């Protein structure tokens, strides 16, 4: 956990983390939902409505990771370590959960730009793929892996923001207010450490304490599993958007 104090280069990402980010980004831009959003039409509604279930749940999933994490499966050394760093862990994850609550509010604002009210988001049909990814992250009892899923979520969010920020039709349709969710995942205030970096640091610290492998291959496997769930969710939402009346 000592690395959490390293604030000189808050967003420094090492080579292998940069490779993981590129692999995730390539999947995001290949996703038909994201490409459809860039082109216009009904896809933005499918994005905001389709992924609402996860966006709504995510702050609570982060909170439960420090408030109600199952201690059963943890080994002795990890349990001792977590007792020692509990205040720092809860402070870091508590901050992330708070910011994600803010992102959830920005999502509602973005959705309103395409005519979706908060009530319509709440009533949007939850597709099995979206339910699956939400529950897979929520129910992951391996702490380091769950934290790597948080990295995956951030990479997907940043990838969507990066791609759609450069899509003129989308930017025009969303307006400045509607783009705030996207800005929040692209530009971090001076001195702020991104959720990607925080989740990496926490996960790698936990892995060290648990004496688990933290090589690129194993870390990437967990992250890309999460990214692939989102890709499948995006495919499902795009499919729904192609069948008017099927969504919402």
Least distance from C-beta 186 to Fe ion, angstroms?
A: 11
- Write out the binding residues for Fe ion, residues 91-110 only, by CB under 5 A: 103
State the nearest-atom distance from the C-beta of 147 to Fe ion, in Å: 15
Q: Which residue is nearest to Fe ion (CB)?
A: 103
Helix (H, G, I), strand (E, B) or coil at 39: helix
103 close to 126: Cβ distance less than 8 angstroms: no
Alpha-carbon gap, residue 175 to 113, rounded angstroms = 8
* 79 versus 104: smaller Cβ distance to Fe ion: 104
Q: Is 169 in the site for Fe ion (CB under 5 A)?
A: no
Query: How far apart (Å, rounded) are the C-alpha atoms in residues 174 and 247?
Result: 20
- In the complex, least distance from residue 150 CB atom to Fe ion, rounded to whole angstroms: 10
User: What sign does the CA torsion over 95, 175, 177, 33 have?
Assistant: negative
Shortest separation between residue 124's beta carbon and Fe ion, angstroms: 19
Total of residues contacting Fe ion (CB under 5 A): 1
Q: What is the largest CA-CA distance in the chain?
A: 54
What value, to the nearest 5°, has the Cα angle with vertex 123 and ends 120 and 126?
A: 120
Closest approach, Cβ 181 to Fe ion, in A, equals 8
Length of the chain: 248
The residue (of 35 and 103) whose beta carbon lies closer to Fe ion is: 103
* Burial of 130: CB neighbours in 10 Å, binned 0-12, 13-18, 19+: buried
Residue closer to Fe ion, measured from CB, 194 or 218: 194
Site track for Fe ion across 180-219, x = CB under 5 A: ----------------------------------------
Closer residue to Fe ion, CB minimum distance, 79 or 188: 188
Closest separation in Å from C-beta 107 to Fe ion: 8
What is the Cα–Cα distance from 69 to 204, expressed in whole angstroms? 17
Of residues 180 and 228, the one with the C-beta less far from Fe ion: 180
Tell the burial category of 52 from Cβ atoms under 10 Å away from its Cβ (0-12, 13-18, 19+). buried
Q: Which is nearer to Fe ion, 153 or 209 (CB)?
A: 153
Q: In the complex, which residues of this chain contact Fe ion (CB under 5 A)?
A: 103
């Amino acid at each position: 956990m000592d690395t959490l104090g390293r604030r000189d280069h808050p967003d420094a990402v090492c080579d292998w983390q940069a490779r993981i980010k590129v692999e995730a980004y390539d999947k995001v831009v290949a996703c038909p939902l994201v490409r459809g959003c860039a082109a216009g039409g009904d896809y933005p509604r499918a994005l905001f409505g389709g992924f609402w279930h996860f966006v709504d749940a995510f702050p609570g999933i982060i909170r439960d990771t420090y408030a109600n994490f199952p201690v059963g499966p943890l080994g002795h050394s990890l349990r001792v370590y977590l007792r020692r760093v509990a205040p720092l862990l809860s402070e870091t994850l508590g901050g992330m959960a708070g910011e994600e609550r803010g992102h959830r509010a920005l999502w509602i604002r973005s959705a309103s730009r395409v005519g979706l009210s908060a009530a319509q988001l709440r009533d949007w049909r939850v597709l099995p793929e979206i339910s699956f990814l939400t529950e897979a992250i929520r129910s992951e009892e391996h702490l380091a892996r769950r934290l790597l899923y948080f990295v995956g979520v951030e990479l997907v969010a940043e990838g969507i923001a990066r791609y759609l920020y450069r899509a003129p039709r989308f930017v025009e349709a969303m307006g400045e207010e509607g783009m705030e969710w996207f800005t929040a995942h692209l530009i971090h205030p001076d001195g702020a450490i991104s959720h990607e970096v925080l989740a990496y640091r926490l996960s790698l610290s936990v892995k060290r304490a648990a004496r688990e492998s933290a090589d690129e291959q194993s870390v990437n496997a967990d992250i890309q599993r999460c990214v692939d769930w989102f890709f499948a969710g995006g495919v499902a939402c795009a499919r729904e958007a192609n069948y008017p009346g099927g969504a919402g």
